[in-house]
Structure 1
Amino acid sequence: MKKYITISREYGSGGRLIGKMVAEQLGYAFYDKEIIDMAAEESGLSAEFIKKTEQNLSSGWLYNLLLGTSYAGTSAGGVGQPVGQAVLPLADQIFNAERKIILGLTKEPCVIVGRCADYILSTSDQIDNKDLLNVFIYADIEAKIKRIEEIYKETESCAKKTIIQIDKRRANHYNTFTENTWGDRKNYDMMINSSTAGIEATAKWIVEMAKY
């Protein structure tokens, strides 16, 4: 039985809802936006600031400094801690805080949505990869547009624009702070098109896969 399930997802694919359903069916803890409040306490930055900027800022300062050794895979020091004479950029401070929170969440079985959790856990020596299930959820563009239209009451053109922008930010953030490529099938145990069978069936597939 997998103890930890990470859900990476395209915007509008229903990934958050699917993750929540999986957690409920397995009796696991569920973390998504809750990580923002935890990271705020860890970093000293406001939750509102982190919410607005966590995927809008890309730095990779420490990633570049280490010449290919991912920041996510290193031992994290205190958030905002000087390295030499420099202070980590805000993007790195936020990522570092969220990384520490995510690793701390593994004291119990859980489902974690987004925030590079798949990479953070798979590269940590604290986690046995046999206990980890990394899932990427995507959907047909028509289904994503319809979902965003219904939830946020956006027009079709606005919904499509929002989807493209948010997915681009997610990819840039992930590609900056990890050594992997967002959405590349080699990085996940499962890739599911939620348009194929719907939200509930997709959640059931993940639950079944978690049993192995």
Structure 2
Amino acid sequence: MTKTELYRRYSLFLCSVLINAFSIAVITKALLGTSPISSVPYVLSLFSPLSMGQYTIIMNFLFILLEILLMGKKSAFEKRYELLMQIPVTLCFGAFIDVSMNCLWWLTPTYYLAQITTLLVGCFILALGISLEVKANVAMVTGEYLVQVIAKFTRKEFGFVKVCFDATLVLISCTFSICFLSSIEGVREGTVIAALIVGPITHFLNPYWRILDKWLTAPTPRRDTIQNEKYPIVITISREYGSGGRLLGQMLSKELGIKFYDKELIELAAKESRLPQQYIAENEQKVSTNYLLHIILQDYEAPIEKSLSSADALFVAQSRIIREIAAKETCIIIGRCADYILKDHPASSIIKVFCYTDLDDACRRCTDIYHSDPDRVRSEIIKTNRARISHYQHYTNEKWGEPHNYDLMVNTGSMPLQTACHLIAQLYKEKANIRQ
């Protein structure tokens, strides 16, 4: 990453932090509850001279100290720049919460409809800030970083630790509220409403920030030459169930003498995500069903993508592995959104293939080769393809099987797999010759 790109990304991150701080002020002004991580500072500010922003700074500094204690001297020293980066972010975030609260002194909705409207506006602004923070992709806010440290220290899943962390903050704020205010403040229906809608709005906004890609990525001289020298050629094969994509990949592997990755990725992903191999094998193409649990207690200033369910953690782990493999060796990768994950791979170093066929041919292949139950094979194919469509769209926001996303669309029902193998091999050899 160049200095220019780094500067631009941190500038975008700072803007997102300020937007998030403003949105928290708007949501708080709705008087329907605030976020779990903001609930403690908010409650403390109600019965003491310090402001919500000041308590936010104090609490986050305590979080940083706790991070250092849990990480130990060696790890804390290695991560010192990440830890130090949290200090100015915390100061800016806390200060701008107070600035925003003061600027919104006039915002005092009295009717419930006005409060709901204010809450919804705040949620949209919050989603805007979160999506920009995700786009910047350079730092984590203090609360999220602490959860990451605790998860590593306890060897528990990030999502589980996140829920426990948020629940603890809510309990602390409720305790302070009951003891000093004789009622529960800061945690109401607005907390749940915001958590339910901020995530979907954020995911809706994320694709639109692709317009910032060219601005964020500063051009470097002779980029194509550098990339061609750095990256080996990778063949990705996406496939409909029963189209023979896996068999085609194995044929290519033998003909070209390059590695083939399919189920091998499961073992690697298990090590990366610390999830059981059996879970990965059963769930790697399913959209997360417990994602809602984690965003219900999601703190507003953190990127939604940081609070990972098991399914999301699996996708992140496989994405990292696929990028690492693609950067090191020439290979064939089957499925797993590899064509999208490697979208920034140089065009001269990747061949994207999509295999499809008609339903009757898929049924025949599944019955003859995979020994599927003839009575259930048709419904199994339809169900599996629907799962792959949902999985791909959920994580890429793009249409699975869209011809414009691939270099070669192969109808395995109209040509033998061996013929398709020769076609792809020829394309591979042509790319290899061009690079020489």
Please classify the TM superposition score into its range, dividing by the shorter chain length.
0.7 to 0.9
SS of match in other structure, 2:275? coil
| Larger RCO (CA within 8 A; separation ≥ 6) | 1
> Partners of 2:259 and 2:370 in 1: how far apart?
27
Q: C-alpha deviations, 1:96-146, integer Å up to 9, x for none?
A: 000000001120100000000001111x3xx32211110000112111100
Aligned to 2:325: 105
SS of match in other structure, 2:376? helix
SS of match in other structure, 1:197? coil
Give, in angstroms, the shift of residue 83 of structure 1: 5.5
Aligned to 2:310: 90
Tell me, yes or no, if the aligned pair for 1:136 and 1:191 is still in contact at 8 Å: yes
- Counting only pairs closer than 5 Å after superposition, residues 166-181 of structure 1 correspond to structure 2 as 166-181=384-399
Provide closer, same or farther for how the CA distance between residues 210 and 152 of structure 1 changes in structure 2, counting only shifts above 3 A: closer
Q: C-alpha deviations, 1:132-166, integer Å up to 9, x for none?
A: 11000011211110011113433444111010000
**Which stretch of the first structure deviates more once superposed, 143-152 or 1-10?**
1-10
Give, in angstroms, the shift of residue 56 of structure 1: 2.0
Give, in angstroms, the shift of residue 22 of structure 1: 1.0
Tell me, yes or no, if the aligned pair for 1:58 and 1:172 is still in contact at 8 Å: no
Aligned to 1:144: 362
Matched, 1:128 2:346: yes
Tell me, yes or no, if the aligned pair for 1:136 and 1:190 is still in contact at 8 Å: yes
Aligned to 2:414: 196
Tell me, yes or no, if the aligned pair for 1:36 and 1:51 is still in contact at 8 Å: yes
Residue type of the partner of 2:341?
A: I
Please, which of 336, 340, 347 is the counterpart of residue 119 of structure 1?
340
Please, which of 274, 280, 286 is the counterpart of residue 50 of structure 1?
280
Aligned to 1:185: 403
Tell me, yes or no, if the aligned pair for 1:12 and 1:163 is still in contact at 8 Å: yes
Residue type of the partner of 1:53?
A: N
> Partners of 1:116 and 1:199 in 2: how far apart?
22
Unmatched 5+ residue regions in structure 1? 66-81
> Partners of 1:21 and 1:132 in 2: how far apart?
18
Matched, 1:6 2:227: no
Q: C-alpha deviations, 1:28-56, integer Å up to 9, x for none?
A: 11100100100000011011111111112
Residue type of the partner of 1:114?
A: G
> Partners of 2:270 and 2:363 in 1: how far apart?
32
Give, in angstroms, the shift of residue 13 of structure 1: 0.5
Tell me, yes or no, if the aligned pair for 1:58 and 1:176 is still in contact at 8 Å: no
Q: C-alpha deviations, 1:59-91, integer Å up to 9, x for none?
A: 7x6xxx9xxxxxxxxxxxxxxxx958x731111
Give, in angstroms, the shift of residue 57 of structure 1: 2.9
Q: Which protein has the bigger helix share?
A: 2
Who wins on radius of gyration, i.e. which is larger? 2
Tell me, yes or no, if the aligned pair for 2:287 and 2:394 is still in contact at 8 Å: no
Unmatched 5+ residue regions in structure 2? 1-227, 296-301, 431-436
Give, in angstroms, the shift of residue 24 of structure 1: 1.6
> Partners of 1:19 and 1:154 in 2: how far apart?
21
> Partners of 2:347 and 2:341 in 1: how far apart?
11
- Counting only pairs closer than 5 Å after superposition, residues 68-87 of structure 1 correspond to structure 2 as 87=307
Provide closer, same or farther for how the CA distance between residues 157 and 190 of structure 1 changes in structure 2, counting only shifts above 3 A: same
> Partners of 1:20 and 1:169 in 2: how far apart?
23
Residue type of the partner of 1:7?
A: I
Residue type of the partner of 1:198?
A: P
Q: Give the TM-score of the pair, scaled to structure 2.
A: 0.41
> Partners of 1:6 and 1:13 in 2: how far apart?
15
Q: Give the TM-score of the pair, scaled to structure 1.
A: 0.82
Please, which of 374, 377, 397 is the counterpart of residue 159 of structure 1?
377
Provide closer, same or farther for how the CA distance between residues 186 and 58 of structure 1 changes in structure 2, counting only shifts above 3 A: farther
Aligned to 2:263: 33
Tell me, yes or no, if the aligned pair for 1:4 and 1:111 is still in contact at 8 Å: yes
Tell me, yes or no, if the aligned pair for 2:288 and 2:309 is still in contact at 8 Å: no
Aligned residues: 189
SS of match in other structure, 2:342? helix
Q: Which protein has the bigger strand share?
A: 1
